[in-house]
Structure 1
Amino acid sequence: MIIRKTFTAGFAILLIISLLGGHGAAKESVKGKPVMNIDEMIASMSLDEKIGQMLMPDFRNWQKQGEGKATGFIEMNSEVASIIEKYHLGGVILFAENVVDTEQTVRLTDGLQKASPDLPLFITIDQEGGIVTRLQTGTNLPGNMALGAARKENYAYQTGAIIGSELLSLGINVNFGPSVDVNNNPSNPVIGVRSFSSDPSLVSKLGIQTIKGLQRQNMIATTKHFPGHGDTAVDSHYGLPLVAHDKERLRTIELVPFQKAIDAGVDMMMTAHVQFPAFDDTMYTSKKDGQKIMVPATLSDKVITGLLREEMGYDGVVVTDALNMLAIADNFGQEEAVVLAIKSGVDIALMPAQVNSLDMEKNLTSVFNAVKSAVENGEILLEQVNNSVARILELKVRRGILDKSATAPPLDKKIKRALQVVGSVEHSKKERKMAEDATTLLKNEERTLPFKPRKNDKVLVLAPFDDQVESLTRSIRELADKKKIKRVQVTSMSYSGKTFTDEAVRLINEADYVIIGSYIVKNDPVVKDGAIDDSIQDAKRWATAFPRAVMNDANKKGKAFVVMSLRNPYDVANFEEAKAVLAVYGYKGYSNGRYRQPNIPAGISAIFGASKPRGTLPIDIPSVINPSEKLYEFGYGLDVNSGKPLKMKGVAN
């Protein structure tokens, strides 16, 4: 049973006075304000309060008692407040369901903090920029691989600063980003454009600048996914990936950006649910099927304590990736997973149990009690718990989260400030410039680009999903509105799940120009006799079969045709026969009255000559027909005017 312990007046005083000495005493003030003695804070806390600091659930959806099904938790209520108070929670994570608009988000974070007045919460979110963003009114930015293609450190810094300022204005104090995974596996289904590059040096430089941009805004930055999720072919949301490389390879590729981030003073580190037998080949019995499986990094003492803390010298806060992901949940169960994670040396168990109603509170109770029992019976050392809580509180002090010396601004002022910052015009201009400079021209035979349509020429746009089609269409019309191109007629079609149809043939026949967006998570062409077999047109292969059919038909009819790679640039290898190909590194389209990413508009701008594509590949693109051969090499990109390769760029300021 969990007993609520009220903090004494003496403990409250510790929040606002400076005491010297002790393991946890801050060595410097925060913005000139008094600091706290962490040892004395911990000595005043009960075991329940310490455990609570180490748990970070989500309230993505909530079902109030007596009401229907669970819906997005967007407004603070007494039920969630009671859970935060009862379990002394150290933090919560927000998702898109929680942050539907700016004012609502400020009100929600204000309510969450009021539920924990003695020890303010970490309020966290995954706002990486690019394809992983949660804010529905924020600046989405072009994403990490786009920054890798632009190769400008100041763009990475601006990205961190924009994200940090927007989150801070909303009352969010931890960003789970940047990802510093080195994406060197073209078949990676979960990282891809979330990575800056396949080159650990480029990942390190841009990752450090993003961290600096975030932390300059007093936003907690988190590097992920340690020791590296970039060379996996399995998504840990659904299965348990394995990276089989030896220690030497891992230390020279995967671990490099993490070590650089540690040296640069990153606040927090997120673990990967990935097996690394080079560092730990300990076997466990899976609860899913009774089979023996290797321990993933998240649950490995040899990885978290031995490698990260002792060998690499990291003494900051370590948080798990979400423990409800199937790589963990299926194989270990929620109670054992949390206990093993803490035993391994992590400080915060993220999403340890599903709680979306008071009836489901028992899940959190079970996890909480499992951890408490493990401490009481010596399975988890109390000293280790104290060390974790010290790291958590030290970070809260360093980032001003525990600062009680200044009165928080009134709620209406916080809302006014957030409305000025989140999704501002200034931020939008910067993200558009980044996206335009990242756009990479990979092929331009016969000077196909830029398109130069005459008035009322017909432009056909095709993409897998309606929001992408809308982004393509709207971007073309906006160019005409700005008189950057002549007014054209735009027709469109979304093709998700479809085979090549008579309707597509008709639209191509009628078009003067054809633009198709390619969205392929993982290349899956059927290769026969050294070529891609286009005879197979089943709906299961729509992601490659449909755009190839459009390409072949457009080529046969002499139409001006271009492929725009939306998701992973690796998919351009499916379109070797295309005369014009470019990569934009982001697939989100236009919905709910806004562009969800600047990448597609930037691609359209390049196609019609309103901007010049200046990006160079931050990865190698292998051939799909001969995977051992490189179709386009790291650093490749064409000048749209001369048709010659751009000079391979280093990282510029």
Structure 2
Amino acid sequence: MKNLSLVLLFVSASIWGQKKVDTEANKWVNNVYQSMSLDERIGQLFMVAAYSNLNEAHIQGLEKLVQEQHVGGLIFFQGGPQRQATMTNRLQSLARIPMLIGIDGEWGLSMRLDSTYRFPYNMTLGAVQNLDLIEQVGVSMAKQAKRLGMQFNFGPVVDININPKNPIIGVRSFGETREIVTERALAFMKGYQSQNVFATAKHFPGHGDTSTDSHYSLPVIDFSRDRLNRVELYPYKKLIEEGLSSVMVAHLSLPAIEPDKNIPTSLSYNVVTKLLREEMKFEGLIFTDALNMKAAANYLQPGEVDLAAFKAGNDLLLFSENVPNAVAKIKEAYANQDITEDRLAYSVKKILKYKYKTGLTSFTPVDKTNLVQDLNDSSYDDLNEKLYNEAITLLKNGHHILPIKNLEKESIAYLKLGDDSGSHFLEMLRKYTDVTEITIDDIEKAKDFSKVIIGYHKVDNPWRNHDFQALEIDAITKLAEQNKLILVSFAKAYALSGIYDFDNIDVVLQAYQNNDFAQNAVAQIIFGTLEAKGKLPVTINKEFKVNDGLKTKKLKRLGFSSLRNEGLDPLYFVKIDSIANDAIQRQYTPGIQLVVARHGNVVYQKSYGFHTYEKDIAVKDTDLFDLASLTKILATTPMVMKMVEDDKLRLNSKMGDLIPEFKGTDKKNLSLLDVLTHQARLHPWIAFYKPTLDSVQKPSKEWYSYIYSADFPTQVSEHLFIKKNYNKEILKEIASSKLGAKKEYKYSDLGFIALKGVIEKSYKSSLDQLVSKNFYKKIGASSLGYLPLQKFDSSQILPTEDDNYFRYTRVQGYVHDMTAAMEGGVAGHAGLFSNALDVTKMMQLFLNKGVYGEDQFFNEETFDTFNDCVFCKDGNRRGIGFDKQQLKGNAGPSCGCASSSSFGHTGFTGTMAWADPEEELVYVFLSNRSFPNSNENKLSKANVRENIQRLIYESILEK
């Protein structure tokens, strides 16, 4: 009973509070109304067109309407936000009673204004099944409207687009069924009105099932009353029940309601008053559609059409062609008692009450500070990303081609059709695997590929023709006959109706619009990092019908998302940019690549600086860096893990049993575990190259040749080859080196150098081929590998040093590490090259504990064993192969802010790769800080990598 009493008390208080608000509103409205002249009252009925891209004469004309005709509102059209804010402030300052400001911004302010944000078209939202996201669109649009000093955005469109040939509605509609339209319009309305900005349902009573544009002539909606109730009027009824603020009445001929077929609905008392206001009990504001549209303007002259619209029952008259004439006509009708005082007061007081509700009792100027930035806040990108991720619709998936799984078995081509760019789509596809671009002129080349992806890219404009050309349909037909074909339409859904035969097209994806968000989402669906979730909002043909939409399975590959959507604060990444740019400015390194991934999604990928300090080539995301010691965890360690699982190796194995050169030496009893955890008492490093130099410290002719031959087959650098089997000399030198006196942690390359031979002997193949076959090709890490010049041009690879002590050349595309170079560029401790994204893929594989895509590379238990800090109790922070966060009170490789389960490695050339299972976070930093010489490690001394990592952790938002 106590709880019930509290509820009743709360309800009672709420009702009392609402009554108090209503009482205060009515008091203000009545006081203002009584203070107004007749001209001022009539002026309130007009919302006139304003353009912020026109000249001073236009503004002065509006000033005259505000001062002399006392207009009640402005509807803005083309222009820009700063100019509109300036105009709003200027005109509002002249109005005795502040004006209502509105805009037709159905997919955001960008429908009308430059430099503003664009949300998806309604038909794209019609494919989205998560209605909460659509409500967020309403919230976002309302916030933007308020920021620009507006109280209305004339939406949502609730026209049900049953007619595919509708020339004016089309993608402005949510879809072709009343349920699709109503559900989304309700969500939009709730979001909008939650911000105290008014939603306007349009175009009453329904403009969807017509092939005529009311801008030019009067469309006829010749349906029975029963049909109107079931279809066109259905969404209005539902929205009115939920508190819809306003309705815009279209210019249509509706014989079932208005017997005179020549009278537009906007001028029909039967439609506006009897149907909308009385029968449907709508008490909100009623707007006409623009009165300059020919469907209305052709019926009556300016002024007369305004009078007719008001007499029909409309409250606000949009886009009057002649306000003074219209005011005079209404004033004359009032004098003749053709319009009563009660009728005038009804609309004017309603308008005033809406002004009170939105705070327009007095005018506060629009703040122009950071206006454009606020209207384009990055949070809107986060929402758009979610919307397109949900909207993309899979209509056909023959042979379950999607998602593409076995990347190592695929050869993929991409063909762009249409009149707009597909470059971002191709870039996204290439983030997953190698993709070759072909053109419509050389589709014969497609025979060489296992799959062809066609992107049909049309300019993202709702009024443009999106039909396929005959040449394009021929190309699709030909490719479908010879290839596994994936067709993606980045165009209106109806565009696919131009293709008559889908039998041989294996996969059909509908993306609705051509922009980066849609292209990102499609690429991720193709490769399985997003599930296909969208449903078709309209019928395309007999094969693809409304509500069709297949689902796909998500694979454990790296996807792509935004910082905020994965719980990271973007403001911290502004600071990260500053650190990276400062490092380049101070010449700690010429170039940097940075990737951050969270929850299995890349959220930040950026390149900084240039290949060299000459600043001739800017670093691109696809450029390759020498990874240096990251090789230990990206090549040797995973191969050792595989050997353990294949029962070819055990962690307690003795090095003397694995390496013939170690037998009979003090290295014979060293355990593999101690070697991998760097406590085997091995020297940190040996300058193996020095004994191979002559008396003037140049490569000795005994060991080197400047041309390839059978005796000198191993390439060290450009124009330098070392004697056959010199790697055995390196092993002998390791074997004869002196062990440290105490078993303790001391980082060493030597054990990893020696393990290369163990791996190659076990699998009877070279290490570079083994890691490529077993890991890199399968995960689509096409840039990651040894010997990059076999696949990439040197211009894509950052140089690491101008060597004046050994190779006497610029080291570019050849491994920087001298010992790895002497092993032909393939070593267990160094030699890998990559871009940051492909390193991130391997780190994500580890974070997934051996799983990537659908492949299980090793078991979870194996990874946990190798990631264990086995000897932490003895003061050794190392995992097995992996580096770990420094122990308390000690220096180390990371920021010290990662979890104890985190792991990674750093490299001599200024590289770092780190993953944290607890935060599901991967951080990869690549640089060529060793260029032009490696003498002083300024990057390390300034803690650049660690400081960036710390900011990443600080950016994590509270859950």
TM range (shorter): 0.7 to 0.9
Whether 2:79 is the aligned partner of 1:98: answer yes
Runs of 5+ in structure 1 lacking a partner?
A: 1-25, 66-72, 284-293, 354-362, 493-503, 524-539, 590-594, 624-629, 643-653
Q: CA RMSD in A?
A: 3.3
Whether 2:212 is the aligned partner of 1:222: answer no
Is contact 1:203–1:257 with CA below 8 Å preserved after alignment? yes
The one-letter amino acid of 1:514's match is I
* Aligned mate of 1:364, from 307, 323, 326: 323
1:433–1:344 CA distance, 2 compared to 1 (3 A)? same
- What's the offset of the Cα at 1:124? 0.6
In the alignment, which residue of structure 2 is the partner of 1:313?
281
Taking the TM superposition and a 5 Å limit, the aligned residue runs for 1:46-85 are 46-60=37-51, 62-64=54-56, 77-85=59-67
The one-letter amino acid of 1:254's match is E
Separation (CA, whole Å) in 2 of partners of 1:135 and 1:603: 28
Taking the TM superposition and a 5 Å limit, the aligned residue runs for 1:319-330 are 319-330=287-298
1:612–1:433 CA distance, 2 compared to 1 (3 A)? same
Taking the TM superposition and a 5 Å limit, the aligned residue runs for 1:175-214 are 175-214=153-192
- What's the offset of the Cα at 1:448? 4.8
With a CA cutoff of 8 Å and minimum separation of 6, indicate the structure with the bigger relative contact order: 1
In the alignment, which residue of structure 2 is the partner of 1:486?
433
Q: Deviations over 1:137-192 (max 9, x none)?
A: 33322232233322222012101001001111111211100111222222222222
SS in 1 for 2:186: helix
In the alignment, which residue of structure 2 is the partner of 1:387?
346
Whether 2:29 is the aligned partner of 1:38: answer yes
Q: Deviations over 1:580-605 (max 9, x none)?
A: 22222335x5xxxxx6xx44543444
Whether 2:262 is the aligned partner of 1:281: answer no
SS in 2 for 1:187: coil
1:549–1:44 CA distance, 2 compared to 1 (3 A)? same
In the alignment, which residue of structure 2 is the partner of 1:436?
389
- Larger CA deviation: 339-348 vs 598-607: 598-607
Is contact 1:91–1:122 with CA below 8 Å preserved after alignment? yes
- Larger CA deviation: 312-321 vs 421-430: 421-430
SS in 1 for 2:21: coil
Is contact 1:473–1:490 with CA below 8 Å preserved after alignment? no
Is contact 2:151–2:197 with CA below 8 Å preserved after alignment? yes
Task: Indicate the structure (1 or 2) with the bigger Cα radius of gyration.
Answer: 2
Is contact 1:565–1:571 with CA below 8 Å preserved after alignment? no
In the alignment, which residue of structure 2 is the partner of 1:637?
549
SS in 2 for 1:190: coil
1:168–1:373 CA distance, 2 compared to 1 (3 A)? same
In the alignment, which residue of structure 2 is the partner of 1:459?
414
Separation (CA, whole Å) in 1 of partners of 2:438 and 2:320: 48
Separation (CA, whole Å) in 2 of partners of 1:62 and 1:109: 14
Whether 2:535 is the aligned partner of 1:616: answer yes
1:551–1:334 CA distance, 2 compared to 1 (3 A)? farther
SS in 1 for 2:213: coil
SS in 1 for 2:200: strand
Q: Deviations over 1:369-409 (max 9, x none)?
A: 233223333333343222111111111111222257xxx3x
Separation (CA, whole Å) in 2 of partners of 1:279 and 1:241: 15
1:458–1:199 CA distance, 2 compared to 1 (3 A)? closer
Separation (CA, whole Å) in 2 of partners of 1:620 and 1:332: 38
In the alignment, which residue of structure 1 is the partner of 2:816?
none
Taking the TM superposition and a 5 Å limit, the aligned residue runs for 1:382-421 are 382-403=341-362, 408=364, 414-416=367-369, 418-419=371-372, 421=374
Runs of 5+ in structure 2 lacking a partner?
A: 1-17, 555-959
Separation (CA, whole Å) in 1 of partners of 2:99 and 2:443: 55
The one-letter amino acid of 1:98's match is G
Separation (CA, whole Å) in 1 of partners of 2:85 and 2:110: 21
- What's the offset of the Cα at 1:223? 0.6
SS in 1 for 2:394: strand
- What's the offset of the Cα at 1:447? 4.3
- Larger CA deviation: 440-449 vs 315-324: 440-449
SS in 1 for 2:543: strand
Separation (CA, whole Å) in 2 of partners of 1:549 and 1:378: 69
In the alignment, which residue of structure 1 is the partner of 2:89?
110
Whether 2:230 is the aligned partner of 1:252: answer yes
Q: Deviations over 1:427-475 (max 9, x none)?
A: 11111111111111111224454568899965222223xxxx23x3124
Q: What TM-score comes out, normalization by structure 1 length?
A: 0.73
* Aligned mate of 2:318, from 333, 350, 356: 350
The one-letter amino acid of 2:171's match is V
In the alignment, which residue of structure 2 is the partner of 1:261?
239
1:252–1:420 CA distance, 2 compared to 1 (3 A)? same
1:543–1:522 CA distance, 2 compared to 1 (3 A)? farther
SS in 1 for 2:111: coil
Separation (CA, whole Å) in 2 of partners of 1:602 and 1:508: 29
Is contact 1:518–1:543 with CA below 8 Å preserved after alignment? no
The one-letter amino acid of 1:486's match is T
Whether 2:457 is the aligned partner of 1:517: answer yes
The one-letter amino acid of 2:547's match is G
- What's the offset of the Cα at 1:332? 2.8
* Aligned mate of 2:333, from 359, 374, 378: 374
Separation (CA, whole Å) in 1 of partners of 2:220 and 2:276: 18
Is contact 2:160–2:232 with CA below 8 Å preserved after alignment? yes
The one-letter amino acid of 1:57's match is V
In the alignment, which residue of structure 2 is the partner of 1:360?
none
1:633–1:384 CA distance, 2 compared to 1 (3 A)? same
Is contact 1:130–1:586 with CA below 8 Å preserved after alignment? no
Is contact 1:461–1:514 with CA below 8 Å preserved after alignment? yes
Is contact 1:179–1:195 with CA below 8 Å preserved after alignment? yes
The one-letter amino acid of 2:393's match is T
Q: Deviations over 1:200-233 (max 9, x none)?
A: 2332222122111111111111111111111112
- What's the offset of the Cα at 1:239? 2.1
- What's the offset of the Cα at 1:478? 4.9
- Larger CA deviation: 251-260 vs 125-134: 125-134
1:272–1:28 CA distance, 2 compared to 1 (3 A)? farther
- Larger CA deviation: 572-581 vs 151-160: 572-581
Separation (CA, whole Å) in 2 of partners of 1:343 and 1:599: 47
Whether 2:69 is the aligned partner of 1:87: answer yes
SS in 2 for 1:332: coil
Aligned residues: 527
